[in-house]
Amino acid sequence: MRKKDLLFVAVAICTALIFAGHLLVKNITDATTGAWGLSFRQEGAAPVAPASNRELSRLDAAYLGDTGEKVIYLTFDAGYENGCTARILDILKKHQVPAAFFLVGNYMQTHPDLVRRMAEEGHIVGNHTMHHPDMSKISDEAAFRKELEGVEQLYKEITGQEMPRFYRPPQGVYSKNNLEMAQKMGYKTVFWSLAYVDWNNDAQPTAEYAFSKLLPRTHPGAVVLLHSTSKTNAQILDELLTKWKEMGYRFASVAELFPAEEC
């Protein structure tokens, strides 16, 4: 092949790669809204997500940890209390496992005792907004700030401390504008790479079903989303943590998802 032809091929390949890269970034930079969803294609491997950690990192967001290390980041979402959280906290204490609890304003107002316990026992209490709305529909920065600052104020009243700046969009619905506004407020947005349908209290899964969905999909660097309202989760958590340990996993704080200088 002549040098001229080689040069043409090289330019064409580079152009294609650049174009592909722009398409990849478009998922984050141009999308008006998105719902977080996962596609599991290989047992024991991280799923395919709507955006890569590299893309998300530009907006101080993450959904996955180090895929080269057997580490799990355990998180819980809670919009209200269902009598399960004390049991969950007991089990976390027994196993010395740190977790992040993303709470809405109603939870903070009605169960300050549990919020204090979470903080006192070394867990992160994250921001899940005051009213659990579809945040992607909030384009006004003042309205967005109000949803997060209300939770911050409640946390400070309850604990006497500033709230850790970790945010999870309700139902995982987000927009680029939302992520930018959270970033501007100093927040790290935490999505997830492993979850199952545990939130419906009228149709709680069996323990066997829960294990069948969680264990085969467990992967290095997994950010696990569970709901602390789930009676099934309270029932299986002791055994689940034991099984994960037997699989060689350690547990880490979601703060480790982000470079130390940014936290």
- Where in the sequence numbering do the catalytic residues fall? 77, 227
Q: How far apart, in Å, are the Cα atoms of 163 and each of 15, 117, 155, 209, 250?
A: 46, 14, 6, 35, 26
Token readout for 26 is 């478009």
Give the list of residues 6+ apart from residue 83 with CB closer than 8 angstroms, or none.
Answer: none
Q: What are all long-range contacts of 244-249, with beta carbons under 8 Å and residues at least 24 apart?
A: 244/72, 244/218, 245/95, 247/70, 247/215, 247/218, 248/70, 249/70, 249/71, 249/72, 249/218
